[in-house]
Structure formats: C-alpha cells, structure tokens
Structure 1
Amino acid sequence: MKRYGYFLDLLKLDIEKYPVIAVVGGGGKTSLIYRLNEELQALGKKVIISTTTHMAYDPMLPLVKSTCIERVPEILKEHGFAAVADIEETSGKMCAIEEAALKKLVPFCDVMLIEADGAKRKPLKVPADWEPAIPDFADVVVSVIGLDCLGKPICETAHRAEYTSSFLEKNLEAPVTAEDIEKIAISVHGLYKNVDHKVYRVYLNKADILPDSSPAEHIVEDLAKQGTIAAYGSLREAEKL
C-alpha cells in the first residue's frame, strides 16, 4: 500500500503557501517530480509538470505543447495533471516553453513542478555559469544529490566534473566526502545558486546504497545547524511503499 504524502512531508513542502516547486541538482530530479505528482494526485490536487531545460517524458502523462497551451485547463479538469512542454525530436525529451507562458498557467493548477536543471543522471553537480534555470516565479527550490557519490572520484560522479573539481579545490580523482556534499548544497556558487528569497530544501537520494545511514544523518544534521532543511531517503525504495 502506497503512503501518499510521504515526500511532501519529508521535505516539509507547504504546497498551499508555496505551490511552484523547482527541482535542481543531480540524478533523481525527474523521479522525485513524478513521485510528488503521484502524492498530489492522491490529495486531489491539479498539477502541472514542466521543465526549463530538458526532462524525460513519461508517455502516460497527458501532454500539452506550446502550440495548444489554451487546452491546459481542460486537460487538468479531465486528468488532474498535465505535462506542459514541447518535445525534442532527436531525444524525445520534454523541452522548455517560454517562461512567461508557463507563469501564466500557475493560476490554473494547485501545484506546478518544474525540472530546472540537468545532470545526465550523475549524482552530483555544481552549476555552470549559466545554470540552473530556476524561473523567477518559483516559490521553492529542491536540490537533489545522490549519496552514491560518497567515496567515489569526482570525475566519475559529477556532471561536468571540472566545475565540481574547481569549486571544491580538489583534483578530479579525489573522492567525494560528506563535507563536499554539504559545501555544494549550501553555497551560492553551488546548488544554492539563484535561490535568492525562495524556500530551499535538500534531498539526499539513494540512501539505500549506504552500508548504514549515519553519513546521511550527519549531513542532514550539519545542514540543519546552518539553517537548511534537508532529508535523506531512496526514491527507488519508495516505489515499494
């Protein structure tokens, strides 16, 4: 039996007050968005899923392209949720529509979930100069970091590893530590970049691969001491709930 609301509660997301959620960081963003949509559907919420970059498309999602965006209220009424994006011909992925057009759709839904970053499925990421693509109208930013990066070389676990290497002032072969994750999570040059006044959360994914949960607990506790709400878990394990 699935436990609806699990991730909403885990990340302390107040969807009534802060309904537009942008997700950035490493691998797991799309899975988190789809899981949140599942929980929101169980609560009877109308949800728009979109991206400001590129995002894997689930064919089960009702899709509204930019050329027929006026159909969004109709699709939401019929299905309760909709993906609003264009489809890239070469990759089959969802790709961004104009931010102004996306913003106009906010009143039609209860919650909008936006993938605002890309990481090529790597667990760790430090944004480049032009990233992340967080829309100005977002209320919340959730950063995702995969705990499978712990103890492994930067060159193997980070998307655009040279940015992570430079940011951490370590060579590409250096193993990623818990302290590195904390630094990336809260720095304005790391995943806190462009967050500004928005509500901020950190989700540490793939905790199931750790021999024990103490490293994840330690990171969450350290981030809390610095004023950042974080949580750890496993989206893969959550699928079994």
Structure 2
Amino acid sequence: MIISLVGGGGKTTTMFYIGRYFAKEGKNVIVTTTTHIVKPENYMDIDSAKELKNITFGEEPVVIGKDIGEKLSSPDIKEVEAFDKYADIVLVEADGAKRLPIKLPRDGEPVLPEKTDICIVCMGIDAVGEKISEKCFRYEIAKELFGWNKDHVLSTEDAARILTDKRAGFKGINNNKCVFVINKVDGEEDMKKALEVENYIKFFCKENGFDNFRVSITSYRENRAFCDFDFL
C-alpha cells in the first residue's frame, strides 16, 4: 500500500506518526518523498528499489531519500513506485508547502506516485481567519482559481474549498480513498473552526460525488493524534 501526503501544515508529523504506528504493529514500513523532507538521524540513501531486497525492518519506519544537506530529496520516482514490492506500507510526502498551513499547487504539483492507494490532504487550522498571502503557499494561484487577491481573508468555507477542489488540494487524487487532516487544532476556538471546515468538506465532497473519505481533526501538541487507522 502506498499512502501519499499532500497539502500544507502537518504532513511530516502525520506521516511519521502513521509510520511508527504501523511499524509497532509489526508492518514493514518505508517513509520517503517525491519532493523533500527534513533529514532524520537515520536514513538510507539508495539508487534502486532492488537495494531494499534484504533490508531489516523494525519498530521504526525505514526512511529513504537522497542526501542533499539539511534535507532528503526524492529518489527517482519510478524507484519510489517500486518500494511497495519490499514493504507493507510506503508513506510518501508528495508535496511541499514551506511550513505554511495550506497550499495551492502549481503545474507539476503534487508529485503523486501513480500507484498511490490512499491520499492524505493536510492543512493547519491556523490558516483560517488570516490573509491568504500570509498563510497559503503559492497564494498567487488563488486569483486564477477562486478570484481571491492577496488580502483575501480565508474563511472555514474557503479552506474546505481549497482542500476539495480538483485544481487545488484534491488535484490528482481522482477517486482514490482520501483522508483530510485538519491539524494544529489546539484549543476550543480552533475546534470550532475545524468542525466548520469538516462540514464544508462533507458538503463539497457530496456536491462532487465523492464519498470515499474521512476527516481527521488532530493536535499533536494536545495529544489528539491521527487515529483513523481503520480507514487506511
């Protein structure tokens, strides 16, 4: 199974949390990227998926990427697409957002492996109530997609619209199973906003004829971690 994560705030944290959960359950888990991820202490820099043939898995995911200094970049995407021959679960960070809580993709983004089984679309609730130019990566695309200028203040409806639009957060997902993760929901006001976003997500998905999804509201600071493992 290949699980690809796209969008904004919370991708890396969610990816490693899911990876560690399944690794402790006895699954063979690989974490990698088709863009860039922060370089952990332990990782493998390989050129070919075949190098994984004799790998030893444990209670931590095996992280794979090309060493470029502070970060790891993607191995060849054709090799990434072959990783599932050697692991039960491959988690792929398939998008970048420069640590901003929400994202609009340009041409060529996200970089989804063709064999992706499940997509996780992430956002940080701290995008809501703020100017799009301050909280959205590639905010300038919003003018063309939604008619919003740089001073547009993002509402809960706007956030859900970004996540579910096939030109934005839902780009390339098609009919794949999907989990929308609303992250950084650290307080009561955050939860109120997150529940509104969730309701709008459900409305837009129904409007678009898509029902194979879940919404997960998370706060790793407040120990409300991702828990929809039964859906993966």
User: Normalization by structure 1: what TM-score?
Assistant: 0.83
**1:238 and 2:223 correspond:** yes
Contact 2:47 2:75 (8 Å CA) reproduced: no
Deviation of residue 213 (structure 1)? Answer: 1.7
Contact 1:46 1:81 (8 Å CA) reproduced: yes
- Of 48, 61, 66, which residue of structure 2 is paired with 1:81? 61
* AA of the residue aligned to 1:85: G
How far apart, CA to CA, are the structure 1 residues paired with 2:8 and 2:50?
A: 33
Match of 1:45 in 2: 27
* AA of the residue aligned to 2:33: T
How far apart, CA to CA, are the structure 2 residues paired with 1:229 and 1:72?
A: 32
Contact 1:44 1:80 (8 Å CA) reproduced: no
Contact 1:154 1:165 (8 Å CA) reproduced: no
Deviation of residue 141 (structure 1)? Answer: 0.8
* Structure having the larger proportion of residues in helix: 1
**1:55 and 2:40 correspond:** no
* AA of the residue aligned to 1:104: A
How far apart, CA to CA, are the structure 2 residues paired with 1:212 and 1:127?
A: 25
Match of 1:5 in 2: none
Match of 1:222 in 2: 200
Structure 2 unmatched runs, 5+:
227-232
State the Cα deviation string for residues 80-107 of structure 1 (Å, max 9, x = none): 5311211113xx2111111221222212
Map 1:1-241 → 2, pairs under 5 A: 19-59=1-41, 61=42, 63-67=43-47, 69-77=49-57, 81-89=61-69, 92-209=70-187, 211-225=189-203, 226=206, 227=211, 228-238=213-223
Deviation of residue 231 (structure 1)? Answer: 2.0
Contact 1:52 1:117 (8 Å CA) reproduced: yes
Structure 1 unmatched runs, 5+:
1-18
* AA of the residue aligned to 2:139: A
Alignment CA distance shift 1:165-1:238 (3 Å):
farther
Q: Is the deviation greater in 42-51 or in 211-220?
A: 211-220
Alignment CA distance shift 1:200-1:151 (3 Å):
same
Q: Aligned residues, how many? A: 219
Alignment CA distance shift 1:97-1:240 (3 Å):
closer
How far apart, CA to CA, are the structure 1 residues paired with 2:127 and 2:188?
A: 10
- Percent of matched pairs sharing the same residue: 25
* AA of the residue aligned to 1:46: N
Alignment CA distance shift 1:184-1:98 (3 Å):
same
State the Cα deviation string for residues 154-182 of structure 1 (Å, max 9, x = none): 11101122113432311211211011111
Contact 2:218 2:225 (8 Å CA) reproduced: no
